[in-house]
Amino acid sequence: MIASRDAYATSVSFAELGVDERLCATLGAQGITVAFPIQAMTIADALAGRDVCGKAKTGSGKTLGFGLPMLQRLAGQPSLTRAAKGPARPRGLVLVPTRELAVQVHEVLEPLGTAMGLHVNAVYGGADIERQVKSLRRGSDVIIATPGRLIDLGDRGELGVEGLDVLVLDEADRMADMGFMPQVEWVLRRIKDHPHQTLLFSATLDGAVDRLVKRYLTDPVFHEVASDTQTVSLMVHHFLNVHQMDRIKVAAAICRSFDKTIVFCRTKRGADRLVEQLSKEGVQAAAIHGDLRQSQRERALADFSAEKLPVLVATDVAARGLDINGVDCVMHFDPPEDHKAYLHRSGRTARAGSTGVVVSLLLWNQIIEAEVIMRRLGLKRPIIEIFSNDPRLTDLASWDPSAVETGR
């Protein structure tokens, strides 16, 4: 079901986009030689020093879209080590909404930074702040940070942003949803009078994000890859009416039929409870949510990414911005709040040009809200009553529920 990178990539090489040969060599060693659409669109403008707004979904290749030009523009300058007194002062900053995304972006950019002689660091909540302070004191050219931890370090006098040459706002719409815009503006106000470049990437450019663009970016160039409709069309959608006493067994049957499934719950307690219930059904699963230690979250994500763990149970906030390849199925165990949340959740599958299955489990009193979501997304799918012993649950990727409605 999962397509290769080449199925979604363009025919444009990174060298053709003007990317430094050292970066191209590092990417080539990872088997990455040609650009994704968002990368092909944005890299040249970013290398030219323009402010760039890229509209694209999570998993479309944005990290390299902003990371390559940022590292290349900062390379060749002396590495910034911390003075005997005073805060660390990076020249590049990437703001992300969640600690998981900070870790993922760091994993991508750290080897590329090393190839360019740059030190790439990551600071985020839920981890030992003293250890992060020690790392900052050893010097940081580029920092990847969550807004809250950045402010904490700034308030402690350990980190200053006034000398930034490049600022990246990744998943800006999610930062707006999570209430981080005041912290983002905390950074922008401090560099407003310092010449700098801003690269902003987001799935949407409306509301708070649009106001931020108009107020703080200078003559930005806009690039857009895919619409919501295109993303939705790559998914197989199922809306299943289940009974309360049978819902766990239906969920377990679906999880057993896929190699990698992400299940969404609305609450942290609900996620923990579902992990226990799936375990009783013989399905190995782990939860990620804000009450867990960072080490627990990282271990669950690492095991899931490495296919050692078949099921990840997540809350909406914990899963924002996750970039995990090869997710076969997304299950809405609890219905999302609205159509935007449906897209954010469902976007964990059908990534980079691949297809994926999205299934919603609906109790009788949740059907109306599911119908509203379908109308907002332009989806026309029947809602099928189903039980856990139904053999169709073992092959949701090829099952066409419309045949039930028409009698075919």
Same domain, yes or no: 132 and 184:
yes
Of 205-214, 263-272, 307-316, least confident by mean pLDDT is 205-214
pTM score of the predicted model: 0.72
Looking at the structure, tell me whether residues 254 and 372 fall in a common domain: yes
Domain end (from 208, 225, 242): 225
- CA separation for the pair 355, 208 (Å, rounded): 31
Q: How far apart, in whole angstroms, are the C-alpha atoms of residue 134 and residue 109?
A: 20
β-sheet bridge partners, residue 332: 264, 360
Say whether both 316 and 385 belong to one domain: yes
Q: Are residues 10 and 92 in the same domain?
A: yes
* Sheet hosting strand 92-95, strand order edge to edge: 120-123, 142-145, 92-95, 166-170, 197-202, 52-55, 221-224
Q: Are residues 184 and 292 in the same domain?
A: no
Distance from C-alpha of 153 to C-alpha of 170, rounded to nearest angstrom: 20
- Are both 178 and 237 inside the same structural domain? no
Count of domains forming the chain: 2
Q: Region of 179 please: left (phi>0), alpha (psi -120 to 50) or beta.
A: left
Length of the chain: 408
- Shared domain for 276 and 294, answered yes or no, is yes
The type of residue at 273 is R
Domain boundary among 199, 225, 251: 225
Same domain, 190 and 250: no
Rounded to an integer, the average pLDDT of 269-293 is 93
- Share of residues in the chain with pLDDT > 70 (%): 88
**What CATH number corresponds to the domain at position 350?**
3.40.50.300
Residue-wise pLDDT for 322-373, tens only, equals 667 788 899 999 999 888 788 888 877 766 556 689 999 999 999 999 999 9
Give the structural domain span for 104. 5-225
Q: Are residues 153 and 250 in the same domain?
A: no
Give yes or no: residues 292 and 367 share one domain. Answer: yes
**Residue 138, token pair as written in the block:** 């050893």
Q: Are residues 155 and 58 in the same domain?
A: yes
CA neighbor of 147 nearest in space, from 121, 109, 120, 176: 176
- Concatenate the DSSP letters of all residues of 285-316 into one string: EEEE-TTS-HHHHHHHHHHHHTTS-SEEEEEH
321 pLDDT tier (thresholds 50, 70, 90): low
Cα separations (Å) of 42 from 46, 287, 399? 6, 35, 39
